[in-house]
Amino acid sequence: MKTPILIINYKTYPQGLGRKAVELAEIADQVAKEYGVAIAVCPQAVDLRIVKEVTNSVYVLAQHTDPYISGAHTGSITISALLDCKVHGTLLNHSEKKIKLEELAEVIRLCKENRLVTVCCASNPEEAREVAKYSPDFIAIEPPELIGTGIAVSQAKPEVLTQTIDEVRKISQEIKLLCGAGITKGEDVERALEVGMEGVLVASGIVKASNPRKVIEELSIPLSRKS
């Protein structure tokens, strides 16, 4: 996936389910084309296929994937399912969907084998360093105490971002770094890019907004200057 990038996590909000998931994806698709920026959307698993079918300018990511190709794994989201939906990749290890490090390592390995992008979340710089050992494509640093607060990590705790850069770069120069938690305004994105992030991960600030298009456009403007 190209950077800088805006990743929109729908979580399980009703504003991002079914028909509304499609509408939000279509808005993101239009903004990506109009502003020439990279945007990814992460709908619930039940909406992955239809969202992928109605978009062509955004990346589509699953919110989670289990460490299986296919088989007797009832209730799992498998690599085969993602490939069949033709999505681009997956979020992993979000603070609301933590997985064991050995499972994370296996999912990343399987995704690499199948050319699926991995965006792995970490709650702090130390966890980011551990995650980096498995060579995901992206690491998104998200202090859980700021998620959904409207208090942007890039403004309130920029030192967390710089520490994450330092820790991850001890392991890899290739992993791309993102930040999330509380991102709601263009200046939050601008500050994140100034610190050294290559994009942002946003959920409620967009999905629950009264005017999602306006927010997506505002967050895209700083990205467009770097694209």
Active-site annotation, residues: 94, 142
Please count the residues of the chain: 227
C-alpha 194/C-alpha 207 separation (Å) is 25
Report whether the peptide linkage leading into residue 4 is cis, meaning its omega lies within 30 degrees of zero.
Answer: yes
Instruction: Determine contact, residues 22/54, Cβ cutoff 8 Å.
Output: yes
Q: Which of 149, 150, 127 is nearest to 141 (CA)?
A: 127
Q: Which of 50, 81, 48, 73 is nearest to 63 (CA)?
A: 48
3-state helix, strand, coil in the chain (%, to 5): 45, 15, 35
C-alpha 133/C-alpha 124 separation (Å) is 15
Amino acid identity of residue 84, one-letter, is: D
Instruction: Determine contact, residues 163/177, Cβ cutoff 8 Å.
Output: no
Q: CA torsion angle for 141, 146, 151, 155 (degrees, to 10)?
A: -40
Q: Which of 80, 41, 86 is nearest to 63 (CA)?
A: 41
Q: Which of 186, 189, 194 is nearest to 218 (CA)?
A: 186
